[in-house]
Amino acid sequence: MKKKLAFAFIMAIFTTGIVTFAAISVNLGFNSIFMKVWLKSWGISYIVAIPAILLIAPKIQSLVDFLFKETDKKIIK
């Protein structure tokens, strides 16, 4: 469980930082309030992303395992 929590916290830092930076820069541009708006958006996104990663990641992993089950069988033969 510690490993999953660490993954969620680290993954959320990078993904929310990159996505909010891109979205804010495109929509607002680099001006005097950019950093304030970006950091606020990043903080909110980070708080939302952690539980989302913890809840959604196992389901996505199961889906990927299912989708590649046939491919894995072919490689083993």
In angstroms, rounded to a whole number, what is the distance separating the alpha carbons of residues 27 and 25? Answer: 6
In angstroms, rounded to a whole number, what is the distance separating the alpha carbons of residues 74 and 72? Answer: 5
Dihedral (Cα; 64, 60, 8, 33), 10-degree rounding: 110
In angstroms, rounded to a whole number, what is the distance separating the alpha carbons of residues 64 and 7? Answer: 18
pTM equals 0.74
In angstroms, rounded to a whole number, what is the distance separating the alpha carbons of residues 57 and 4? Answer: 10
pLDDT, one tens digit per residue, over 15-46 is 999 999 999 999 999 999 999 999 999 999 99
Given a contact cutoff of 8 angstroms between Cβ atoms, the answer to whether 37 and 24 are in contact is: yes
